[in-house]
Copies of this chain bind each other. A is one copy, B any other.
Amino acid sequence: MGYNEEAFIKILKSKGLKVTNQRKAVLKALSSKPDQHLTAEEIYELVRVDTPEIGIATIYRTIQLLCELGLIDKLNLDDGYVRYEIGKEDKNEHHHHHLICVNCGKVLKFDDDLLDELEKQVEKTTGFIVHDHELKMYGYCRDCQNNRK
Contacts and interface: CB of A to CB of B under 8 A. Distances in A.
B133 A137 contact: yes
Contacts of A129: 139-140, 145, 149
Interface string A119-149: 1011001111111111111111110010001
A57 interface: no
A118 interface: yes
B141 A137 contact: no
Contact of A133 (B119, B138, B141): B138
Interface of A: 74, 76, 78, 99, 101-102, 108, 110, 112, 114-115, 117-119, 121-122, 125-142, 145, 149
4 closest cross-chain pairs (CB), A and B:
A127-B142, A130-B139, A133-B137, A132-B138
